Structure 1
Amino acid sequence: MKQRDLGSTGLQVSVLGFGSGAGGGLMTKGEPADQVRAVARAMEAGITYFDTAAAYGQGHSEENLGRVLGELKAWDKIVLGTKVRFNEVDRKEPVAWVRKSVEGSLKRLKHDRIDLLQLHNPVCNGAKGSSPTEDDVPVAEVLAGVAEGMQQVQKEGLVGHLGYTGLGDTEALHAIARDTRFKSVQVYFNALNPSAGYAGATGASQDYDGLIDTCAASGVGVLAFRVLANGALVARADRHPIAGIPNAPLDGGPTYEGHVEGARALMPIVDELGLESGLELGFRFALSKEGVSSVLVGFSDLGQLEDAIRWAERGPLPASTMDRIVALAR
């Protein structure tokens, strides 16, 4: 498994990142023995980046991942990222809330340090943003009290590096990427809306206006997420029994069903290249974009993990294929 620099953090992360959210469900609702087998297999394959959050499964993701990493004695072999999320009340005392959130995460993880702490809220330009959620945080607050709270736990050694989730108003996301305190961003990026890598190629969704390139110019590491469009790139509507139910589109675009329909337009490319599915196309599309450090995928079972490992080993797509996919989104 190839490793890439996570921006200017000094950390190296695997090109395939292990997602532990409710979308896949393995680390929130899976059987404990299956969780151990999956994490052990991931590490055997060279996966070094593991992503979780306090909000995933109401804390169960952190608890389960921490338990497994402890059982496998793996803490010194991996890079772990988790997140802090604010509600309206928490925003009144951001420094205190960051500390409380981090202490809760460490307790659930049963560990003494987090490699990467990321803001989990969408950010907006003014008092309210255009995202479909109700917990937008104005960029002015992010660069003031939120950043101060995150820096404080960083200075105390509880956290290694700071990052944020790239959702919300596009201008605000670019502004944070240019702030030297934030060293990574989770970027919404997939073959149906590749605008974070190719400005203007929105697929009728939000234009992230080349956020990945802004990050690269600022030395900010990029963790690409929703690269499989919540599984819609398989181009059919059925889902694994423990996979989460798709929520409202994060980029203000089509519904999950609309994404499934959009994925069908990619099937001729899948067939021409002899790929296994639209999921392989989507994963390798994200992997191919210069500036992406790791491609995050969530899993429901060990078979899905094996698929992603196989696709990572096959590497980037041809440049001509990338151009065709981007053209379909314009």
Structure 2
Amino acid sequence: MALRKRPLGRTGLQVSEIGFGCGMMAGLFTRGAPALQRAAVARALELGISHFDTAPVYGDTASETNLGAVLHDMRDQLGPAVTLATKVALTFDELDDVYGAVIRSVEGSLRRLRRERIDLIQLHNRVGPLRAPKPDIGSGAQLALQDILGSRGVVDAFCALHAQGKVGYFGCCAFGGDALLARDLIASGVFDTVLVHYSLKNRSSWEIPPDASVRDYGQAGALAARSGMGTIAVRILEAGALAKSESTILPPVEAAIRFALSNPEVSTALVGFSDIGQIEEAVRCAELGPLSATEIGSL
């Protein structure tokens, strides 16, 4: 069975159910050996993984640089089905010129990734009622809604980059910061995709949480899906914590991956990898298909 693909919302793109996350926790693209990085991408492509996600903040630009080198060396093997996503995370000091800072960030990413165009550019900053040096969760400063949607804000810069052919689609982040304002970003209609926290431990991007012990992300994934946006599930393994769980009826990694992919509104689930064996395990889990309602109810 081949790794299935799903539509990335209204973009017209098809992405693999498992996305290759190049973040810091798994660390392959921030501190791995170049030979292993290349072998891992080759194996991922062979298994049908076609979506790669990175960010400038991962390893202080190391992830973009390393992924860019590998994809450039393998460019003849990629084909049009491979999609590349990166992010913009503005610091508090950059907020005097949001528009210019976004342009500079993306142009830096293009150089490091050795690309003329990025398929999906995502805002990594969270949104809150006011600017703040740091959000409660995530990267960069907390932005106000006006910084994103207002004149010469993030979206204006994204649109200028799109007009120049440097970026394709726009994404935002809907976990951390203010959940209601994140819903406003989704409702604005200017973003094509959204990053959502969705796991066995926290299902609140789609479901109302059972009690106050679970942070409520405001059913942002459900709202985004209804709006025609692509939904990209992150933290499905809760930074590795669920991989060590002993409380499930299934192997923990299998339970976590199959749970996320049991939701038909999830476009792709990002998974970070440290080695090739983890890539093969993730694909094997995805190929087993969705969990039954009974299985989900017991987890």
TM-score band by shorter chain is over 0.9
Which residue among 293, 297, 300 is the counterpart of 2:274? 300
> CA shift at 1:104, angstroms?
0.4
Structure 2 match to 1:170? 179
> CA shift at 1:283, angstroms?
0.9
> CA shift at 1:75, angstroms?
5.9
Q: 1: distance between equivalents of 2:231 and 2:171? A: 10
Structure 2 match to 1:323? 297
Structure 1 match to 2:206? 197
> CA shift at 1:28, angstroms?
1.0
Structure 2 match to 1:101? 105
Q: 2: distance between equivalents of 1:201 and 1:156? A: 46
- State the AA in 2 paired with 1:70: H
- State the AA in 1 paired with 2:114: K
- State the AA in 2 paired with 1:151: C
Q: Check whether the contact 1:131–1:169 (CA below 8 A) recurs between aligned residues.
A: no
Structure 1 match to 2:11? 9
> CA shift at 1:173, angstroms?
1.2
| 1:187-226 deviations in Å (ceiling 9; x for gaps) | 0111111111212246713101211110011111001000
Runs of 4+ in structure 1 off by over 4 angstroms are: 127-130
Structure 2 match to 1:30? 32
For 1:65-144, what aligned pairs fall within 5 Å after superposition?
Answer: 65-73=67-75, 74=78, 76-128=80-132, 131-132=136-137, 135-144=141-150
- State the AA in 1 paired with 2:200: A
Structure 1 match to 2:259? 285
RMSD: 1.7
Q: Check whether the contact 1:52–1:83 (CA below 8 A) recurs between aligned residues.
A: yes
Q: 2: distance between equivalents of 1:132 and 1:112? A: 31
| 1:83-129 deviations in Å (ceiling 9; x for gaps) | 00111121111111111001100100111000000001111134459
> CA shift at 1:130, angstroms?
6.9
- State the AA in 2 paired with 1:210: Q
Q: Secondary structure at the match of 2:9?
A: coil
Which residue among 212, 216, 236 is the counterpart of 2:221? 212
The unaligned stretches of length 5 or more in structure 2 are: none
Q: Check whether the contact 1:223–1:294 (CA below 8 A) recurs between aligned residues.
A: yes
The unaligned stretches of length 5 or more in structure 1 are: 236-262, 271-276, 326-330
**CA 1:63–1:130 in 2, change beyond 3 Å: closer, same or farther?**
closer
**Alignment partner of 1:158 is 2:169:** no
**CA 1:313–1:202 in 2, change beyond 3 Å: closer, same or farther?**
farther
Structure 2 match to 1:242? none
